[in-house]
Copies of this chain bind each other. A is one copy, B any other.
Amino acid sequence: MALTHRPERSLAEIVGRLGGELIGDAQIVVRQVATLAQAQSDHISFFTDGRYRHQLHATRAGAVILGVAERNATPLPRIVVENPSVYLARVLALLNPLAPQRAGIHPSAVVDPSARIDRSVAVGAFVQIGKNARLGRGTVVHDGCSIGEDVRIGDEATLYPRVTVYHGCVIGDRVILHAGAVIGADGFGLAQEEGKWIKIPQIGGVTVGDDVEIGANTTVDRGALDDTVIEEGVKLDNLIQVAHNVKIGAHTAVAGCVGIAGSAKIGRYCTIGGAAGILGHLEIADHVHISAKTLVTKSIRQPGTYTANMPFAPHHIWLRSAAHLRHLDRMAERLRQLEQKIDELKKDQT
């Protein structure tokens, strides 16, 4: 999805559309957003992190977005807002509109005649769409996607190239699926018989709520009996594995390389750090934050931040600690014995 020619906007136009308090020359025109360090006179920049105050003083930006507490931090033309990061997101969108995709189905696409596809939908080359699939208004399906039978995709969704949605999955409005994402592959359901694995057919589906974004090559498995559920507003980064019957609560964000095992239930408004892991059948409350690479091995009932990491060190120093890690219980026992001996010595003295 390429960008159109970028529009230019005066500060007056920007504030007219997006709000905020404008201080300075309203006729200043900007074409793009840039960091304080990179910005030129036709750029608007932003000041959201106090560590860059020296860059604010030196910037060549034509204008700056900043928070109300910093309204006088620069003499430059500026837009003062409550939430500069969100405002930045909106200015970026305004200055970088997505190229409209031509509605219609590419002649190379293979679409089952029973599929119901709104006339406003854009379907790219080499897309396959199965029986009874439904695609809502304004949805864009890029080249090479595979959409199974009975799939339902809402309005204004975007499927980047080579996304696979297996049969029967349901995708909400304004969902974004990045390249290589796989929605609805079989869960890892196995029964054991005399040492061999028997596949348990996975007859559930996947339900993806509105405004979800799913990163490149991320996989969300279909449920065993009931559905795997990704609630509205959830954001999944790249290369995440979501196993069968997981439920991720609304507005939770999950960073890259996370693995979530079967039937785990994650609350709303959580954040899961990169490469964290969550074991199966656990429950995590709302507003829980898991640090990077932490393995969650039991349910978490209280909001808060939870962590488990070995601190890194130069290898030869780490080796010395690692040797003791295996023997912590012996260290603890020696400590207990010392305490006992000391107590005896003290008694003897008195």
Contact = CB atoms under 8 A, between A and B. Distances in A.
Contact of A142 (B146, B150, B215): B146
Contacts of A338: 335, 338-339, 342
Interface string A109-129: 010000000000000111010
Nearest to A254: B188
Interface residues of A, number: 133
Interface in A309-349: 309-315, 317-329, 331-332, 334-335, 338-339, 341-342, 345-346, 348-349
A275 B259 contact: yes
Interface stretch (A8-16, A20-28, A190-198): A190-198
Interface of A: 1-3, 32-35, 38, 83, 85-86, 88-90, 92-93, 96, 106, 108, 110, 124-126, 128, 130-131, 142-144, 146, 148-150, 160-162, 164, 166-168, 176, 178-180, 182, 185-186, 188-193, 195-201, 203, 213, 215-217, 219, 221, 225-226, 233, 235, 237-239, 241, 243, 251, 253, 255-257, 259, 261, 269, 274-275, 277, 279, 290-297, 304-315, 317-329, 331-332, 334-335, 338-339, 341-342, 345-346, 348-349
